[in-house]
Amino acid sequence: MQDDLRDLVATGCRVLGSEGHGDLIWGHVSARDPEGRGTWMKAATWGFEEVTRDDVVLLTRDGSVIAGSGRRHAEFPIHTEILAARPDVGSVVHTHAPHAVALAATGSPLLPISHEGTLFTPPEVPRFEETGDLILTAELGARVAATLGDQRALFLVNHGIVATGRDVPTAVLGAILLERACRTQLLAVGAASTLAASDDDEALRKRDHCYNDALLEQAWDYLVRRLPGDSGSAGRRPGRRPFRRRNVRT
């Protein structure tokens, strides 16, 4: 169970790396420990695409590493405080996704001009504007969680994004789809001064039609199958082969 969850966090990191969310060694994925011991989180010093289960550590809410080896990321309070505030959330993703950072900096809200945007709006995607600096304290993390409210994602303006989900695949897909939605909007803004967008009713229907649980699961399986050298082992289907360690370090 524990190894399965560590594999899932590591796979989520590699999927994000394959989708352009890498920012050298920054950005992270976490998951709530099912036994209530804390938060499993990608360790520092590794890029998304090279993370394996051995690079996932268990943290307490105050940031102490109590299982696994490796250093914790300094921005762990984003994860620990959101997980504390949101019992419905099982996984948190934070990345410096470039198109999302760019769109948030314009001050324009994300609009449902593509399928992807309908996953997040309506209502408007929350914006955390208190600081564009790192989220290094529990107090700041708690204020990020308060800004997120009951939404699935938010913009950390001048910094990055946070996406949440009931599990790692859902949170990772949220980050991927938010970045894609922002990229599409930036393309449109560059070509026209007014944009056609779904109204709220259509956007909510599309959210269900395009991104219901079954379709998100299929999209996750596809992203895992597409990973270099991966057999899709950390997908949610039962009976898959255990994850093969790819990067052996000495």
Toward Zn ion, which CB reaches closer, 141 or 160? 160
Cβ atoms of residues 94 and 88 within 8 Å: no
Bridge partner residues of 31 (DSSP): 40, 91
Contact 236, 217 (CB under 8 A): yes
Residue 72 or 115: which CB sits closer to Zn ion? 72
**Beta bridge partners of residue 97, listed in sequence order:** none
Q: What is the Cα–Cα distance from 108 to 50, expressed in whole angstroms?
A: 34
Say if CB 41 and CB 72 are below 8 A apart: yes
Please report, as residue ranges, which positions from 145 to 174 form the binding site for Zn ion (by CB under 5 A). Answer: 160
Number of residues that bind Zn ion (CB under 5 A): 1
Contact 108, 186 (CB under 8 A): no
Other CB atoms within 10 A of residue 91 CB: 28
Residue 226 CB, nearest approach to Zn ion (Å):
26
77 versus 160: smaller Cβ distance to Zn ion = 160
Residues 213-232 close enough to bind Zn ion by CB under 5 A: none
For Zn ion, the closer of residues 22 and 160 by Cβ is 160
Cβ 250 to Zn ion shortest distance, Å: 30
- CB of residue 100 vs Zn ion: minimum separation in angstroms? 12
**Minimum CB distance to Zn ion, residue 96 (Å):** 6
> Which tokens is 194 given?
């007014």
CA distances from 177 to 38, 48, 63, 112 (A): 27, 17, 29, 12
Cβ-based neighbours of 100, under 8 Å, separated by 6 or more: 155, 160, 161, 178, 179, 182
Residue showing the smallest CB distance to Zn ion in the complex:
160
Which one, 45 or 218, has the nearer CB to Zn ion?
45
97/119 with CB nearer Zn ion: 97
Least Å from the CB of residue 219 to Zn ion: 25
To the nearest whole angstrom, how small is the minimum distance from the Cβ of residue 130 to Zn ion? 14
- The residues that touch Zn ion, with contacts defined as CB under 5 A, are 160
